[in-house]
Chains A and B, each alone.
Chain A
Amino acid sequence: MPDTAHNLLTSLSEALDECASFARPLVAGIAVRGRRLRSGTLWRKGVVVASEQAFPEAGEATVTFADARAFAARVAGRDPGTNVIVLRLDGTPDPPPLPAAEPHLGGIAVGFGADEAGISIRLGIVHSVGPAWHSRAGGRIDRRITLDMAVTPREEGGPVLDAAGGILGISTLGPRRRVLVIPSSTVDAVIEPLLSKGQVERGWLGAALQPVLVPEELRSEAGAARALMIMGVSKDGPAAQANLHVGDILVAIGGQSVSSPAMVAQHLGPDSVGQPIELRLIRAGNLLPTHVTVAARPAR
């Protein structure tokens, strides 16, 4: 083998070794009685974050680190919106201060998970980087980061580092086992409300919406070609209280047209709860202004 290739591979190998030494103190093995081992990330002293969707309906767990130290942990809060669950531990050491990393397309990504023997490591690249996105459960995730990397359900929730040893976020399994990263900034944003209130409040209308083409004769009056049709109304929800009906077409919220679910989600962030918002509807061929008071999204 030529010398250059040998050097390149040994350098890569040494770099991965170093990366693993950065990550090792962060990787948390989470055991819930009777369940298989899961992974989490020591985010700050006494606080471990993990994947919400993978976590059973349990309040207590045992968290073990790679140095075999084990801690009793309590679930402090869970947020299906960003897929983050927060566990509080008694007396963990301070995690090493790893800087938050910005994802770069094609950049090396190194993922970690807990393993019965300590930690496991995965090598991949940042497959795509996109703008902020909203999950179906109502959460706003600051960046859309996907990885070209295999991650098992056991490893989900572990830290993902970049080539320089900065932390990109925690790994998450998306639809069709696509591997996503919940960015550090998103974890930081939900961690405080989860620790103090156990949940992240988000706005709720109590209506099921479906994108729809506005009938041509109403387009100029509505000022939009696309809108959302109300397909269902939750009993006693804000939409029901505001007298919205199945079949109404929602054209605008707060004076801005809404042509997609993502545009609705933008109006229903944590600050929207309790606030009145103005709606424009099409009902029976007529434009109808009204308003609703946004409620807090009920727990699942």
Chain B
Amino acid sequence: MKSAGAVVSNPLRVAVAAADEAAQGRLAALVSQCGHELVEVSAGPDAVLTEGAADAVIPSLVVALGVVDEEFGGLLPADAGVTQIDAALRAVAAGLTVRGPHRRRRDFKPLPEEMPALLTPREIEILVALGNGLSNKETARRLGISPHTVKFHVESLLRKLDASSRAEAVAKGLKQQIVEF
């Protein structure tokens, strides 16, 4: 495939918000390693990098390292690398929201409501196979049934779970329903 031309990675104007000079220096070094121009917070930066509080700036433009604050545009772990930091700064500058992996989720929620249509043990086995990315053929082989039977069950699962794809069926039927006790 022919490339339509690489996106030119223009440097951004990035400010840092730090509580002390040591942090200020650390963050400024990261900004320059990303190849961006360091500007003052008051200069209307494209993005802001911080390790802690970042008052007086628009929260959606802030990339925070090792801080969990849902109002910030970007949340990365404290030990995020330059590549991740650069990507996050560019993303928040473009109006996107960035969340790193292993972030502690806000997860205070009720136990799942009971599904209107419960699945049978066989349907659950098939759903688990779908969740593992198995094809109908592979699922049939694993469970010792015919591919035709698998197809029948998959169609019934989509109907029961009101799902339009296998992925949606797995999400609705398994991920939201399994509870650890």
Pick the interface stretch among B101-109, B144-152, B161-169.
B101-109
Say yes or no: B109 contacts A135, CB within 8 Å. Answer: yes
A53-B106, A264-B179 are known; give 18 further A-B pairs, CB within 8 A.
A56-B68, A133-B111, A137-B108, A144-B110, A153-B70, A172-B108, A175-B110, A208-B181, A210-B177, A212-B119, A212-B124, A213-B118, A215-B120, A215-B121, A229-B124, A261-B111, A261-B112, A261-B181
- Determine which of B68, B109, B120, B181 lies in contact with A212 in the assembled complex, contact meaning CB atoms within 8 Å: B120
A binding-site residues for B, Cβ under 8 Å:
33-36, 51-54, 56-57, 80, 83, 133-138, 144, 153, 172-175, 203-213, 215, 226, 229, 231-232, 234, 247, 249, 259-262, 264-265, 268
Closest B-chain residue to A265, C-beta based?
Answer: B111
Chain A nearest CB from B151 CB (Å) reads 20
Given the interface contacts A209-B181, A262-B111, does A35 sit within 8 Å of B69 by beta carbon?
yes
Bound-complex Cα distance A205 to B174 (A):
19
Closest 7 CB pairs of A and B: A34-B52, A213-B118, A83-B108, A261-B179, A261-B111, A205-B181, A175-B109
Closest B-chain residue to A84, C-beta based?
Answer: B108
Given the interface contacts A33-B52, A34-B51, A260-B114, does A210 sit within 8 Å of B107 by beta carbon?
no
- Determine which of B67, B71, B112, B118 lies in contact with A153 in the assembled complex, contact meaning CB atoms within 8 Å: B71
The answer, yes or no, to whether B19 is at the interface (CB within 8 Å) is yes
9 of the cross-chain contacts (CB-CB < 8 Å) are: A35-B53, A80-B107, A135-B109, A144-B110, A207-B181, A213-B118, A231-B128, A232-B180, A260-B111
Q: Which chain A residues lie closer than 8 Å to B119 at the CB level?
A: 212-213
The answer, yes or no, to whether B178 is at the interface (CB within 8 Å) is yes
Chain B nearest CB from A143 CB (Å) reads 13
Q: Which chain A residues lie closer than 8 Å to B177 at the CB level?
A: 210-211
Say yes or no: B124 contacts A34, CB within 8 Å. Answer: no
Say yes or no: B121 contacts A174, CB within 8 Å. Answer: no
B binding-site residues for A, Cβ under 8 Å:
19, 51-53, 67-71, 104, 106-112, 114-115, 118-121, 124, 128, 174, 177-181
- Interchain pairs with CB closer than 8 A, number: 115
Closest B-chain residue to A297, C-beta based?
Answer: B181
Say yes or no: A207 contacts B111, CB within 8 Å. Answer: no
Closest B-chain residue to A182, C-beta based?
Answer: B108
Say yes or no: A213 contacts B120, CB within 8 Å. Answer: yes
Bound-complex Cα distance A56 to B177 (A):
28
Q: Which chain B residues lie closer than 8 Å to A229 at the CB level?
A: 121, 124
Say yes or no: A249 contacts B121, CB within 8 Å. Answer: yes
Closest A-chain residue to B115, C-beta based?
Answer: A211
Most buried by B among A212, A226, A268: A212
Say yes or no: B108 contacts A52, CB within 8 Å. Answer: yes
- Determine which of A54, A232, A259, A265 lies in contact with B106 in the assembled complex, contact meaning CB atoms within 8 Å: A54
Bound-complex Cα distance A263 to B178 (A):
14
Given the interface contacts A135-B111, A137-B107, A175-B109, does A212 sit within 8 Å of B19 by beta carbon?
no
Chain B nearest CB from A231 CB (Å) reads 5
Given the interface contacts A36-B69, A212-B120, A213-B118, does A136 sit within 8 Å of B109 by beta carbon?
yes
Closest A-chain residue to B108, C-beta based?
Answer: A83
Chain A nearest CB from B23 CB (Å) reads 9
- Determine which of B53, B118, B179 lies in contact with A136 in the assembled complex, contact meaning CB atoms within 8 Å: B179
Bound-complex Cα distance A179 to B115 (A):
24
Q: Which chain A residues lie closer than 8 Å to B68 at the CB level?
A: 56
Q: Which chain B residues lie closer than 8 Å to A173 at the CB level?
A: 106, 108
Given the interface contacts A210-B174, A212-B118, A213-B119, does A265 sit within 8 Å of B181 by beta carbon?
yes
Chain B nearest CB from A86 CB (Å) reads 16
Q: Which chain A residues lie closer than 8 Å to B70 at the CB level?
A: 153
Bound-complex Cα distance A171 to B62 (A):
27
Bound-complex Cα distance A254 to B110 (A):
24
Closest A-chain residue to B125, C-beta based?
Answer: A247
Chain B nearest CB from A111 CB (Å) reads 17
Say yes or no: A135 contacts B181, CB within 8 Å. Answer: no
